[in-house]
Amino acid sequence: MTDQSLQDQALQAIAAAPDLDALQAVKTRYVGKSGLVTKELGTLGKLPPEERKARGAEINAVRGAIEAALTEREALLKQAALDAKLASEAIDVTLPGLPLPAGGLHPINRVYDDLTAIYERMGYAVIEGPEVEDEHHNFEALNVPWYHPARDLQDTFWLEDGRLLRTHTSPMQIRYMVNHEPALKVVVRGKVYRYEATDATHEAMFHQLEGLVVGDGISMTDLKGTIAEMARGLYGPTARVRFQPSYYPFVEPGADFAVWWENPRGESKWLELGGCGMIHPNVFKAVDDLREAEGRERVYEGKTGFAFGLGPERIAMLKYGIPDIRYFYANDPKVIGQFRGELG
- Told to check if 206 binds ligand FA5 by CB under 6 A, we report yes
Site pattern 230..269 for ligand FA5 (x: CB under 6 A)? ------------------x--x--x---------------
C-alpha 23 chain-centroid distance: 53
Q: Which is nearer to ligand FA5, 40 or 313 (CB)?
A: 313
| Residues 202, 270, 203: CA angle, nearest 5 degrees | 5
- Told to check if 307 binds ligand FA5 by CB under 6 A, we report yes
Q: Which is nearer to ligand FA5, 137 or 168 (CB)?
A: 168
- Told to check if 133 binds ligand FA5 by CB under 6 A, we report no
Distance CA 328, CA 322 (A): 8
Q: Are strands 125-127 and 184-193 parallel, antiparallel or unpaired?
A: parallel
- Told to check if 208 binds ligand FA5 by CB under 6 A, we report yes
- Told to check if 274 binds ligand FA5 by CB under 6 A, we report yes
Residue 217 φ then ψ, to 5°: 65, 25
Helix, strand, coil percentages for the chain (3-state, nearest 5): 45, 20, 35
Distance CA 50, CA 45 (A): 11
Among 309, 316, 317, 328, binds ligand FA5 (CB under 6 A): 309
| Stretch of 15-23, 69-77, 155-163, 306-314 lying at the interface with ligand FA5 (CB under 6 A) | 306-314
Biggest distance spanned by C-alpha atoms of the chain = 126
| Stretch of 51-59, 60-68, 198-206, 261-269 lying at the interface with ligand FA5 (CB under 6 A) | 198-206
Q: Which is nearer to ligand FA5, 32 or 253 (CB)?
A: 253
Distance CA 44, CA 36 (A): 14
Strand ranges in 69-215 using DSSP code E only, listed in sequence order = 125-127, 132-133, 164-165, 184-193, 205-215
Number of residues in contact with ligand FA5 under rule CB under 6 A: 26
- Told to check if 305 binds ligand FA5 by CB under 6 A, we report no
Q: Which is nearer to ligand FA5, 74 or 272 (CB)?
A: 272
Residue 296 φ then ψ, to 5°: -105, 165
Q: Which is nearer to ligand FA5, 59 or 271 (CB)?
A: 271
Q: Per-residue DSSP letters for 59-79?
A: HHHHHHHHHHHHHHHHHHHHH
Among 63, 185, 194, 303, binds ligand FA5 (CB under 6 A): 194
Q: Residues interacting with ligand FA5, by CB under 6 A?
A: 168, 170, 194, 196, 202-203, 206, 208, 210, 248, 251, 254, 272-277, 307-311, 313-314, 325
